[in-house]
């Protein structure tokens, strides 16, 4: 009988490889967790309204979305923490002044600063965003997440100015100009903590897999935090374990070291 009760899986670079085709080993691993009665959550920076096909393919029904601002357990809302409207409006101003593009996520839509910008179009295509609308000034409340696009590394400092947020570079080749906005107190680690409290599961019984810096709080909070081999170089210090890459059965091999798959 295993002591592990719950597993949190990041999507991009962890479940999804660069070709967006989930490995068969990952599907087998998740199916094995289900058979053992272990809860499985997808924990992503993506909006939940855009991940249905991934969830269906893995038969997963519980989620952390928007980098920890919203969580659902088997159809029941567990957490809902929209961003401060002042931060949202300030970021919109900074982005406009510096030629950056911005995507704001609500529970139902992706609100875009532009529908025509070529880099925005590439972002939409890569992440298969379908529920899109052009942002208008009356839409700045109930924003659960933000991604900034077309930034250079030096531009990060423009947004990190005592606003209780930090930026996390998207860890996907070709999209390093994109940064998720992470709330210092509302992130994947915060969401994991709240979920474990509500489900009555000790953190020592929790496992998590991730590859980006938006996973650092989650990996450092759980009992077994796995950094993918393809992870951001700065992430490894936050994980107590390392597994193989997303293109080399990383989730399966990590769970195998814990005796959860064969």
170, with CB counted inside 10 A (0-12, 13-18, 19+), is buried
Q: Quick one: which H or E segment has residue 189?
A: helix 188-199
Confidence class of residue 2 from pLDDT cuts 50, 70 and 90?
low
Total domains, the chain: 2
- Per-residue model confidence as pLDDT tens digits over 122-144: 999 999 999 999 998 887 778 99
Of the residues 160, 183, 206, which one is the last residue of a structural domain? 183
Predicted model pTM: 0.90
Q: Please report, for the domain that includes residue 16, its CATH number.
A: 3.40.50.1000
Q: Are residues 173 and 48 in the same domain?
A: no
Is residue 262 assigned to a domain?
no
Q: Range with the lowest mean pLDDT among 22-26, 27-31, 84-88, 210-214?
A: 84-88
């Amino acid at each position: 009988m295993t002591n592990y009760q719950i597993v949190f899986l990041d999507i991009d670079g962890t479940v999804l490889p660069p070709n967006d085709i989930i490995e068969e080993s990952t599907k087998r691993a998740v199916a094995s967790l289900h058979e053992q009665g272990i809860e499985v959550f997808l924990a992503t920076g993506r909006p939940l309204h855009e991940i249905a096909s991934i969830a269906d393919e893995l038969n997963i029904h519980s989620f952390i979305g928007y980098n920890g601002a919203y969580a659902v357990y088997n159809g029941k809302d567990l957490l809902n923490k929209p961003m401060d409207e002042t931060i949202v409006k300030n970021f919109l101003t900074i982005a406009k002044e510096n030629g950056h593009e911005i995507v704001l996520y609500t529970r139902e839509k992706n609100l875009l600063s532009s529908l025509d910008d070529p880099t925005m179009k590439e972002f939409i295509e890569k992440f298969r965003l379908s529920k899109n609308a052009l942002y208008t000034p009356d839409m700045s409340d109930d924003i659960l997440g933000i991604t900034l696009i077309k930034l250079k590394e030096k531009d990060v400092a423009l947004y990190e100015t005592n606003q209780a947020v930090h930026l996390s570079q998207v860890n996907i080749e070709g999209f390093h100009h994109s940064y998720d906005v992470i709330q210092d107190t509302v992130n994947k680690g915060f969401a994991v903590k709240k979920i474990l409290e509500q489900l009555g599961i000790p953190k020592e019984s929790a496992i998590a897999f991730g590859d980006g810096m938006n996973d650092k709080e989650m990996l450092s909070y759980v009992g077994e935090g796995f950094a993918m081999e393809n992870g951001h170089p700065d992430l490894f210090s936050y994980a107590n374990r390392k597994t193989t890459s997303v293109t080399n059965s990383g989730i399966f091999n990590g769970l195998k070291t814990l005796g959860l798959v064969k």
